[in-house]
Structure 1
């Protein structure tokens, strides 16, 4: 049994994070002022964006990544949950609409984006990508080829951005559906993760031979580790969507309450009872 995990830093990850941070700071700073895109950007948006970069740094470097890549299916599932259910919503929350608006000037990109960010295409694309990469053959391929592993993670983040777009769209041109539709969408969005989790949890054999040959960590056999990974996904995924549904519901409720509270005040101003 070994319990070693290292703070290994990956130059490709650091370069990607540095590029994203640089482009973001240029967009909300010099470019915003030069092209008069907006008067400013809310601090919470900046915090959300850099929070996403921080989560990516933790997920793709250090002990979590080391365990995910060499020893534990459960660590790998935590990594995938962070890359699909935490990073993308933070990136979208941190991006004001005016920062993304230049994309709309590219006619073909605008047309494709308008289609792909609709609920059905967005959820379908994400489901196919997420499910396919957890099948044994593609999963093993990614573990054995670093370039393929990078591609897998990029596809996870890109398709999860599509997944979250219908509830977090910062662009009026690619709008969010009404709150009831958002609630239904989030409920359905939590379903595709369940078969993958069940696949891992209920199997009586190790599905990924790579981990079957890996050193044990913390006394976990490969099969116990695989089942733990499935349970984490089974609980963690739906929990995130439940939290998102709760936020959408209370935002919707607060919008309905505000006009009702304002009506008596307006009536009183005109002398009506």
Structure 2
């Protein structure tokens, strides 16, 4: 990585190219959300705008705010960024049902182009394949485990380009992982709802394995943090903190939708029994 790229990476001067696209997405979504609320109020929830913007804000905090500079100094900061992208930004964005709102928020020409693209058979086939639960689980697991293999992790820390690819991978994997759970396109389902709790449980396993490895390892896994300042925190202690953060956050964040879906399934089953008996 060149000297100018290294300086840009650590100074936060690249935050503008992150901020502007996120602001543009927020404006397009807001326009589409407003139009849908006026014409089709039952299609998009009133709280959709809030959760979508909260998702974009999570992404900005992770990669566009001053926090973005700290992942070369502390593994725990890297872990916070990782969690913000995959377990906060991605699900919040999908909860806002972004496909419809972004489509209706585009100018007329862009709306027609996007509508044609979504209707064409190859795009629908690819989209259906990418949003399959198996692909979502593999994407989430691959991003979590793959980028934390020491050789891959160090590559991301040394190279600006690979660092950005790492972040983009976390975000894309998060969207693919959460899509089968949230199902942001009305009327389009990728599988039975009873499979969601099992899917989430399986999703915690690679995170639990990685967090346990980081927390209980008796050595610093990544050389990057041996030479950093660590802000007066011993590298091994910082690594333990990163592992604990992953374990606690993933456990609770995955547990919440699993419980919600389970309760809904049980309530629906109870209603069906009452209707049958009645």
Structure 1 match to 2:64: 61
Show the 5 A alignment for 1:1-273.
Answer: 10-29=15-34, 38-39=40-41, 41-68=44-71, 70-95=72-97, 98-99=100-101, 102=115, 104-171=118-185, 174-217=188-231, 219-258=232-271
Tell me, yes or no, if the aligned pair for 1:8 and 1:62 is still in contact at 8 Å: no
Distance 1:67 1:95, change over 3 A: same
TM-score normalised by length of structure 2: 0.81
Structure 1 match to 2:4: none
Unpaired runs of 5+ residues, structure 2, are 1-9, 104-113
Tell me, yes or no, if the aligned pair for 2:75 and 2:225 is still in contact at 8 Å: yes
- Deviation at 1:212? 0.8
Q: Tell me, what secondary structure is at the counterpart of 1:190?
A: helix
Tell me, yes or no, if the aligned pair for 1:104 and 1:110 is still in contact at 8 Å: yes
Distance 1:49 1:188, change over 3 A: same
Give the count of matched residue pairs: 256
TM-score normalised by length of structure 1: 0.82
- Deviation at 1:104? 2.8
Distance in 2 (alpha carbons) for counterparts of 1:194 and 1:240: 13
Distance in 1 (alpha carbons) for counterparts of 2:233 and 2:241: 9
Distance in 2 (alpha carbons) for counterparts of 1:216 and 1:130: 23
Tell me, yes or no, if the aligned pair for 2:154 and 2:222 is still in contact at 8 Å: yes
Distance 1:33 1:216, change over 3 A: closer
Tell me, yes or no, if the aligned pair for 1:8 and 1:63 is still in contact at 8 Å: no
Unpaired runs of 5+ residues, structure 1, are 268-273
Partner deviation per Cα, 1:196-241 (whole Å, 9 max, x = no partner): 2223223222222111111132x42111111211121122212211
Deviant stretches of 4+, over 6 Å: 5-9, 261-264
Structure 2 match to 1:270: none
Partner deviation per Cα, 1:150-180 (whole Å, 9 max, x = no partner): 2211111111111111111122564142232
Distance in 1 (alpha carbons) for counterparts of 2:23 and 2:253: 28
Distance 1:16 1:145, change over 3 A: farther
- Deviation at 1:90? 0.6
Higher helix share: 2
